[in-house]
Amino acid sequence: MIKKEMIAMLLAGGQGSRLGILTAKMAKPAVSFGGKYRIIDFPLSNCINSGVDTVGVLTQYMPLRLNTHIGIGIPWDLDKNFGGVTVLPPYEKMAGTEWYTGTANAIYQNLAYMEQYNPDYVLILSGDHIYKMDYEAMLDFHKEKGAECTIAVMPVPMEEASRFGIMIADGDRRITDFEEKPENPRSNLASMGIYIFSWETLKEALITNSAQPGLDFGKHVIPYIHDKKLPLYAYEFGGYWKDVGTLTSYWQANMELIDIVPEFNLYEEYWRIYTNSVSIQPQYFGNASEVERSIIGEGSEIYGAVNSSVLGCNVVIGEGSVVKDSIIMHGARIGKNCVLEKCIVAEGAVIGDRCRLGEGEEAPNETNASIYRDGLVVLGENTTVPDDIIVGKNVLIAGQTRAENYAGGRLKSGRSLILEGGEL
Amino acid sequence: MRAIGIILAGGGSSRMRELSRKRAVCAMPVAGSYRSIDFALSNMEHSRVQKVAILTQFNSGSLNEHLMSSKWWDFGRKQGGMFVFTPSFRNENSNWYRGTADAMAQNLSFLKNSHEPYVVIASGDCVYKLNYNKVLEYHIDKEADITIVCKEMPPEFDTERYGSLRLDGDGKVLELVEKPMVVRSNIISCGIYIIRRRLLIEMLEKSQRDGQYDFVQDILVRQQGIRSIYGYRLESYWSNIASVEDYYRTNMDFLKPEIRSFFFWEYPEVHSKHSDLPPAKYNIGAHIKNSLLSSGCIVNGTVEDSVLFKQVYVGNNCIIRNSIILNDVHLGDNVYIENCIVESRGDIKEGSHHIGEDGIRIIVEQGERYTL
């Protein structure tokens, strides 16, 4: 008989629409982060580092990149005969076939997967946060308290508490009440979307509530367990935890990595982060290159200047170009004598020579001013920009653009240029 | 592929000086992210050789560690895969490998238990890209008994250390001389051979009976005139790591765009063990010109015309010129290094100066280290 004490279910099916064009062709957990990584690497590495070697990854939205990245789990040592990583997409049934309609519904549809490992505990994770966390310590807490469900929480500044799901706990950390995005928060313990359930409790809660449309952990399952007066505990996490849900927070989290000793340190021997690296070759710096305060992935070739930026693998920066405060992802190529400031250039994008991106005054973006903001210039995957183009701030460009798409060789601040092949 | 592979990875080399204290030549780190055996092994992989034996003996710890898993080269197979053979005591034989032919002969069962009609023999200390299928096609086309991959070297090349070949217009080997005193041809053997498996078994059994153990001296050279031997001319880059000078030059070759393009950007790519290191990091004070750097490096100083391997830490105000810094070296502040090779896991004390005055200097400076 196969027996796993705790298995993990990783919710990776969401689009993450607030990342705009970055998630046009891939689910949020597959978006690159920190040069060579993708967001899902963090929870996956946490799992194997915590001794959790059975992980079901629930996919739904644009799963190709995610599937390719996970493969059979080799980079995380999750290629196992019993357990390991399994990708779980929605599937057709005799009756009642449906998509994953909510976080808990997705888990409910995979009861059979969990059942075959005969677990005592199930860890529910989401694939869209940057953090290092020992789930085993959380499990110890869960056992010690005799909890049926433990929610990982993080103290946040009181003034920000109204943006989160807030847990109210007593002195023993037992949750007495909770509120979703409260106007007047009674506590500053924000839910991190990480849960440990005792298996029988989870199973019973999912089956009982299975008819609930859009079955969700925060909205339905946790309230159900609370109403049944089952022991529900808050596990306080004190380390670095970053939600990279918006373009601005995504950009900031990347920029934090370039500090001398960053708060989130990737260079510690202990608790390494693993990834399926696009490239393993060394990076090359040309004779006229300049580089400062930056991290750069394998195989990149730098002939120009890179300052305060995060570069992925196999990126080429042409001679005379200056890249500043930017994120350049895998395989992107920047031509010669360009200036890029506060740009997010997605994978495989190509920029011609003598382009200037991120110039001038800010103006609200015409497509979505709440996503494309804070002066960022965002280029979608495989976008091309021809030579001699000047681009303002809060701009979005997607598709194979040509010179005639830019009136007077310019794209003003706040404008969006979306061509076929670069759909939103 | 209708061939099995054998990679000869046995040797140490006194010409590698201090660098061979720690490891076999085949395990030498090359070009920032690789080890020299990766090239032969990746060639085997991309030529779709299903079954490869690696024969190793000298200082094999580092090599074994590198080959601990065969998955990086896709040799984690049920059918075939990668076999590492080190000498072992047996009832009939308690010898070390006494030479390349002996190494193969001591593992004759590997050859006998295979069904593929041909064998590709390659040495593990050469840097090159080659599809062995092309050599095999040539071999069959010429109806050769043995095909030797060879390369025409420039006149100034030190041919004396290699096997030298004279070919006729058709590519047939007229003369093969190992380490010639008088050089009559600047075509050298690249240490890559294709032979019919049964013929190899036959030749190995005979040389064992005769007490002869070197594949080149005792088999190839002596078979001249008896067997039909052909030379396959390799036109692309090839370099053998046999001495410190070769090693230095080979690494520095990767600073040339055409060499990088050939190995890094053109299909197929060279594979190696993954090391899970974070991206390289450049802090304030980093100045880098014409250099290769690998993952996990943290740079606070100046690096010019150099190759830095994985996880090198360069302190403030350091200057590194024309040097090779191997894996996991820590350079304290204000270090000056020129024309040197710094051995891996070295700790270079702050403020120290190391300059290779006449030729390349090797720096071995190991402190006590603990992983926290």
pLDDT (tens digit per residue) in B127-146: 999 999 999 999 999 999 99
Q: Which residue has better confidence, A102 or B10?
A: A102
Average pLDDT of B44-60?
A: 94
The verdict on B194 and B318 lying in the same domain is: no
Complex-level ipTM = 0.93
The verdict on B252 and B312 lying in the same domain is: no
Identity of the residue numbered A301: E
Q: What is the DSSP letter of A218?
A: I
Long-range contacts: B109-116, Cβ < 8 Å, 24+?
B110/B4, B110/B53, B110/B83, B110/B85, B111/B4, B111/B197, B111/B200, B111/B201, B111/B204, B112/B201, B114/B4, B114/B51, B114/B197, B116/B1, B116/B2, B116/B3, B116/B4, B116/B50, B116/B51, B116/B197
Residues in chain B closer than 8 A to A275 (CB atoms): 276
Give bridge partners of residue B148 from the DSSP assignment: B193, B231
Picking from B31, B285, B371, the nearest residue to A269 by CB comes out as B371
CA A236 to chain centre: 22
Is position B261 within any domain? yes
Is position B56 within any domain? yes
Q: Does the beta carbon of A81 lie under 8 angstroms from any beta carbon of chain B? A: no
Nearest in space to A411 (alpha carbons), one of A423, A421, A399: A399
The verdict on B181 and B70 lying in the same domain is: yes
B289, closest residue in chain A (CA to CA): A287
- Could you report the average pLDDT of every consecutive run of 10 residues in chain A (424 residues)? 93 92 94 96 97 97 96 96 96 94 97 96 94 97 98 93 92 94 92 97 98 95 96 96 92 93 88 93 97 96 98 98 98 98 97 97 95 96 96 96 95 92 54
pLDDT on residue B372:
53
The verdict on B118 and B254 lying in the same domain is: yes
Residue B136's SS3 state is: helix
Q: Does the beta carbon of B58 lie under 8 angstroms from any beta carbon of chain A? A: no
CA dist B262 and B128 (Å) reads 10
pLDDT on residue A422:
53
The parent domain of residue B346 ranges over 281-370
Is position B271 within any domain? no
Q: Using the 3D structure, point to which of B211, B236, B265 is the last residue of a domain.
A: B265
Contact check, Cβ <8 Å, B372/A270: yes
Q: Does the beta carbon of B41 lie under 8 angstroms from any beta carbon of chain A? A: no
Is position B276 within any domain? no
The verdict on B25 and B109 lying in the same domain is: yes
The verdict on B338 and B254 lying in the same domain is: no
Average pLDDT of B187-195?
A: 96
Nearest in space to B336 (alpha carbons), one of B309, B318, B316: B318
Note the pLDDT tens digit of each residue in B246-290. Answer: 999 999 999 999 999 999 999 999 999 998 999 999 999 999 999
The verdict on B169 and B26 lying in the same domain is: yes
Is the dihedral angle over the CA atoms B13, B16, B20, B23 positive or is it negative?
Answer: negative
CA angle B35, B40, B42 (to 5 degrees): 85
Contact check, Cβ <8 Å, A258/B281: yes
Cβ proximity of B321 and B305 under 8 Å: yes
Residues in chain B closer than 8 A to A298 (CB atoms): 33, 279, 294-295
Q: Does the beta carbon of B256 lie under 8 angstroms from any beta carbon of chain A? A: no
Cα of B20 to nearest chain A Cα, Å:
23
Residue B232: burial class (beta carbons within 10 Å; 0-12, 13-18, 19+): buried
Contact check, Cβ <8 Å, A292/B276: no
The verdict on B80 and B152 lying in the same domain is: yes
The verdict on B205 and B149 lying in the same domain is: yes
Q: What is the DSSP letter of A239?
A: S
The verdict on B223 and B120 lying in the same domain is: yes
The verdict on B285 and B208 lying in the same domain is: no
The verdict on B82 and B188 lying in the same domain is: yes
Is position B302 within any domain? yes
Distances (CA, A) of B302 to A211, A259, B333: 65, 19, 11
Is position B210 within any domain? yes
Q: Using the 3D structure, point to which of B265, B292, B326 is the last residue of a domain.
A: B265
Cα of B107 to nearest chain A Cα, Å:
31
- pLDDT at B113 > cutoff 90: yes
Is the dihedral angle over the CA atoms B108, B113, B117, B118 positive or is it negative?
Answer: negative
Is position B179 within any domain? yes
CATH of the domain at B313: 2.160.10.10
CATH of the domain at B116: 3.90.550.10
Residues in chain A closer than 8 A to B263 (CB atoms): 281
pLDDT on residue A287:
96
Is position B238 within any domain? yes
Output the pTM of the full model.
0.94
- Domain count of chain B? 2
| Helix and strand counts by DSSP (H, E) for chain B | 9, 28
Whole-number average pLDDT of chain B:
93
pLDDT on residue B371:
59
Counting one residue from A and one from B, how many pairs have CB atoms under 8 Å apart? Answer: 104
Among A77, A78, A284, A314, most B C-beta atoms within 10 A, so best to mutate, is: A284
